[in-house]
Structure 1
Amino acid sequence: MPQSNTPVRDRLEEILARLDARRDRERAYVKLYTESARAEADAADRRRQGGATLGPLDGKVVSIKDLFDVAGEPTLAGSIIRRNAPPATKDALVVKRLRDAGAVILGKTHMTEFAFTAVGLNPHYPVPGNATDENLIPGGSSSGAGVSAVEDTCDIAIGSDTGGSIRIPAALNGIVGFKPTASRIPLDGAFPLSPSLDSVGPLARTVTDCMLADAVMAGDPMASVVARPIAGLRIGVPQGRLLNDLAPEIAKAFADSLDRLARAGARIIDCRIDDLMERLWGATRIGSIAGLEASRIHADWLSDDAALADERVKGPLRRRLAVPDEAVAALLETRRALAVEMDERLSPYDLLALPTTPIAAVPIASVETDANEYDRVEGLLLRNCQVANQFDLTAITLPMPGQTRPAGLMLMGRNGADRMVMEAALSLEALLRNS
């Protein structure tokens, strides 16, 4: 993190120099806005010299996922199919709000094709290896976002989360990732995957930076960053399948984290939500909500056998396209009803706590050519995270300390409890760092 007296332009040039040194093997970024970023950095420095500021994001270097519109260019969303798409006529609303707040938009980051998969592989681009070990998967779909934030080529990365696509790469790379309540941040100018589930949020090395970026993108005033005391918090721990198949190191770190919370005065309470999840999973036997909605968005090219798309995207979406619209509408109504039930179920708790993912990052080589292993890994990565999307909750992941490979602790809150979740995470972040 740059010091407050470091000129923004100096900070930017240091990043650009590092990116230029690896330009022939760049994996985290798919496009850089070098000249406009320099102009934005210079403007931030001029404001600072004149004693003015546009707020706490003024001069922060920000990367954006490759699904946000930038005026004058096609929005690729990780796909070569869209290289000839019409250029965007204006910036996505969140990009505009970030610029208006003084953020320096450095570039667009790597993502899985159309944000549909969670491991981090995209056949059209080199895999951005995990920031802690380039031989490990980065997690997806906001793969380059997670890497860019950890490797310090940005201060804050902006991603999207439909089933864990912010929290998975944040957890696997060892940083903070926040998924807001879906309606909190506007999706205008963000290429959709699943309009019912999509949300936009930040990845950063600190909860504070995530809180600041969230407030700007949501258009909310934020006078100060305030931590919520841990003492007295009622934290539910869902017993059952969400705690199954944990890697031993993650199971231990999760137990240690709960112990620290309890010693800080939180009430740790077992709870049960498996029945609600099973009812939703039963309804999705016809296909996942994300896959069904995405199949309608991509119907124009799905019938083209020659379309150059990732088979991990094309195959599932083609199958979902055959599901009748009436069945999709019925599924979405079931989901809405179950979200209401989940909200009632969670009313006795301030937060839920879970491991963000039950496993840490695996070697890229283990999933590149083995379809069964790929499916196993992806299923585990999505399992815990997707609960927040499916039931319209908010969630944040924090790095758990002492891990050989990074792993995350996830806090989930009820719909609309975004600020409370972030304030509690601010206290938990300090607790974990001091442990």
Structure 2
Amino acid sequence: MGRELSYMPAHRSAVQWAAQLAAGVVDATDAIEQTLAAVDACDDPAIFTLTTPERARAAARAASARQQDGCSLGWLDGVPAAWKDLFDLSGLPTTAGSRLLADAQPAAADAAIVTRLEAAGMVSIGRVNMTEFAFSGIGLNPHYGTPVNPHGHRRVPGGSSSGSGVAVARGLVPVSIGTDTSGSVRIPAAFNGIVGYKTSGGRWPMQGAYPLSHTLDTLGVLCLSVLDVVLVDAAARGLAVPDLRRGSVRDLRLIVPTNVVFDECEPAVIQNFETALTRLENAGAYIERRALPALDEILALNTQHGPIVNAEAYALHRDRVEGDAAARMDRRVASRIRLAAATPLTAYIAIMEARRRLVAETAAMLAEGWLVAYPTVAHVAPSIDALEADDDLFVRTNMKTLRNTLLGNFLDWCGISIPNGSDAQGMPTGFLLSGGPGRDDHLLAAALTAEGIIRGAAG
């Protein structure tokens, strides 16, 4: 097959990749070579922490052979993917964005999610950067560099799945798999103008993913469209084809909270959200605005007892942050983890008991098909330079960045961030749809229905 026919343009969604491969317009081996070359030539070396070219080429050759034999594994066969730097890849140390783990024992096996997606034919290109130990919504990393938001003005990528967001937004790969403990998939999706889906607990296998909080950790995907999410979600659950379908916008029932989530929101964030909401309502969606007291209670519980993620991160990293290793960590990460040192066990038990109650109460509220809608983040991506220069500003900005998304993690909601416009400087904003625990199918079907309306002119 000639090289001219085999050219694969950048910024193709997974579905568009699949269509090109299936039509024979491009060969999988050529497409993966172009992907590896684009990563190598990229002017931002902080996006990927490593590439796996031999692994990728072997997978591409297998996909190409299946393509030529007419026995494709499905929609994702031959489509490239990148992995957040906390997923085990056999034979490599799992560094989790930290220099402390650079010499760790190599993983004996791939993470379960890697195995699932490669079984569907996806081609692993390599690992992408992240906040050290996944502990920030901003995305700075002093060890491997900070990926720069492609929308300009030296803005942050969002975290902790920082490289995932930038790799997809720049068209280096159509899919990147991340984790989301307090917003780490949905925040970089919103900041980079792409789609980010966080599963509810237990939907995708967690084995082989370096933990931050055993209670709150979930997996997710960053990509260019909701249909891409649906295909990846099916493969991640071991399904050959998705088992959900697009619904009617007239069946959408959305709760818009009137408390917490709009506090201190930038004007463009509110305007873009309200514009998308009006389009949905005009198309037939039912919108109900009301206070959700659980949201206020979550923030009050975090203030009173300390966040669950802090306590569990301290239990995991105590020896590091209280020892000599702390000097080799990101100072912002080490200091934030140490904040939980004084948290008594009684406080941890109290907030865990309150979480069980609130998860049950809000799950019952959403059981009749309701979804919750509000801005993904209260502001657009802030300046890298300003946050690197001022740790107090970093702490305040990080708390504000995480506020809206962490509510869903606390309540074990699934959530998907969809681009819904930009501010006057061209920085993207995100529209967050969330569903109750285990209601992922309902959420994704609704997102398929609503995506084009939410995007509007920004689509």
> What's the CA shift for 1:235?
0.6
* 1:320 matched to 2:316: no
In 2: Cα distance, 1:212 partner to 1:349 partner: 22
Alignment-mate amino acid for residue 276 of structure 1: A
Which of 401, 404, 411 is the equivalent residue of 1:381?
Answer: 401
> What's the CA shift for 1:331?
2.0
Is the 2:100–2:325 contact (alpha carbons within 8 Å) kept by the matching residues of 1? no
Is the 2:431–2:454 contact (alpha carbons within 8 Å) kept by the matching residues of 1? no
Which of 220, 234, 247 is the equivalent residue of 1:201?
Answer: 220
* 1:405 matched to 2:453: no
Secondary structure of 1:352's aligned partner: strand
More off after superposition, 96-105 vs 280-289: 280-289
In 1: Cα distance, 2:456 partner to 2:389 partner: 41
The equivalent of 1:279 in structure 2 is: 297
Matches within 5 A, 1:171-320: 171-220=190-239, 222-223=241-242, 226-273=245-292, 275-284=293-302, 285-307=304-326, 308-320=328-340
* 1:427 matched to 2:449: yes
* 1:9 matched to 2:29: yes
Is the 2:89–2:111 contact (alpha carbons within 8 Å) kept by the matching residues of 1? yes
Query: Which deviations, in whole Å up to 9, do the C-alpha atoms of 1:202-239 show, x marking residues without a partner?
Result: 10001111111112122345346621211132111000
In 1: Cα distance, 2:279 partner to 2:325 partner: 55
Q: What's the TM-score, normalizing by structure 1?
A: 0.96
More off after superposition, 364-373 vs 45-54: 364-373
In 2: Cα distance, 1:160 partner to 1:47 partner: 31
Alignment-mate amino acid for residue 423 of structure 1: A
In 2: Cα distance, 1:113 partner to 1:386 partner: 18
Secondary structure of 1:416's aligned partner: coil
* 1:145 matched to 2:167: no
Which of 105, 113, 118 is the equivalent residue of 2:124?
Answer: 105
In 2: Cα distance, 1:158 partner to 1:329 partner: 32
> What's the CA shift for 1:358?
1.1
In 2: Cα distance, 1:433 partner to 1:279 partner: 32
Percent identity for Structure 1 against Structure 2: 38
Query: Which deviations, in whole Å up to 9, do the C-alpha atoms of 1:333-362 show, x marking residues without a partner?
Result: 221111111222334552111011110111
More off after superposition, 384-393 vs 399-408: 399-408
Alignment-mate amino acid for residue 428 of structure 2: P
Alignment-mate amino acid for residue 171 of structure 1: A
> What's the CA shift for 1:153?
1.0
More off after superposition, 425-434 vs 308-317: 425-434
In 2: Cα distance, 1:216 partner to 1:51 partner: 20
Give the 3 Å change call, closer, same or farther, for CA 141–21 of structure 1 in structure 2.
same
More off after superposition, 247-256 vs 295-304: 295-304
* 1:82 matched to 2:101: yes
In 2: Cα distance, 1:313 partner to 1:359 partner: 22
The equivalent of 1:414 in structure 2 is: 436
Secondary structure of 1:53's aligned partner: coil
> What's the CA shift for 1:190?
0.2
> What's the CA shift for 1:259?
0.5
> What's the CA shift for 1:244?
1.7
> What's the CA shift for 1:315?
1.4
Unaligned runs of 5+ in 2: 1-11
CA RMSD of aligned residues (A): 1.7
The equivalent of 1:351 in structure 2 is: 371
> What's the CA shift for 1:86?
1.5
Secondary structure of 2:102's aligned partner: helix
In 2: Cα distance, 1:263 partner to 1:407 partner: 21
In 2: Cα distance, 1:240 partner to 1:319 partner: 27
In 1: Cα distance, 2:37 partner to 2:92 partner: 25
* 1:390 matched to 2:414: no
Give the 3 Å change call, closer, same or farther, for CA 178–100 of structure 1 in structure 2.
same
Give the 3 Å change call, closer, same or farther, for CA 242–433 of structure 1 in structure 2.
closer
Q: What's the TM-score, normalizing by structure 2?
A: 0.91
In 2: Cα distance, 1:232 partner to 1:213 partner: 25
Alignment-mate amino acid for residue 46 of structure 1: A
Unaligned runs of 5+ in 1: none
Alignment-mate amino acid for residue 303 of structure 1: E
Which of 375, 379, 383 is the equivalent residue of 1:363?
Answer: 383
In 2: Cα distance, 1:326 partner to 1:53 partner: 55
More off after superposition, 326-335 vs 145-154: 326-335
In 2: Cα distance, 1:276 partner to 1:89 partner: 42
Alignment-mate amino acid for residue 250 of structure 1: V
Give the 3 Å change call, closer, same or farther, for CA 223–115 of structure 1 in structure 2.
closer
Alignment-mate amino acid for residue 387 of structure 1: L
> What's the CA shift for 1:42?
1.1
More off after superposition, 297-306 vs 58-67: 297-306
Query: Which deviations, in whole Å up to 9, do the C-alpha atoms of 1:278-337 show, x marking residues without a partner?
Result: 333333323211110111111232221443111211112223133233432332122111
Is the 1:208–1:225 contact (alpha carbons within 8 Å) kept by the matching residues of 2? no
Is the 1:239–1:272 contact (alpha carbons within 8 Å) kept by the matching residues of 2? yes
More off after superposition, 110-119 vs 375-384: 375-384
The equivalent of 2:392 in structure 1 is: 372
Is the 2:268–2:422 contact (alpha carbons within 8 Å) kept by the matching residues of 1? no
Secondary structure of 1:244's aligned partner: coil
In 1: Cα distance, 2:129 partner to 2:422 partner: 28
Give the 3 Å change call, closer, same or farther, for CA 85–326 of structure 1 in structure 2.
farther
Secondary structure of 1:144's aligned partner: helix
Is the 1:65–1:110 contact (alpha carbons within 8 Å) kept by the matching residues of 2? yes
Give the 3 Å change call, closer, same or farther, for CA 17–295 of structure 1 in structure 2.
same
In 2: Cα distance, 1:262 partner to 1:410 partner: 16
The equivalent of 1:135 in structure 2 is: 154
The equivalent of 1:119 in structure 2 is: 138
Give the 3 Å change call, closer, same or farther, for CA 96–302 of structure 1 in structure 2.
same
In 2: Cα distance, 1:372 partner to 1:317 partner: 16
The equivalent of 1:47 in structure 2 is: 66
In 1: Cα distance, 2:202 partner to 2:323 partner: 34
Give the 3 Å change call, closer, same or farther, for CA 61–48 of structure 1 in structure 2.
same
Alignment-mate amino acid for residue 314 of structure 1: A
In 2: Cα distance, 1:48 partner to 1:317 partner: 49
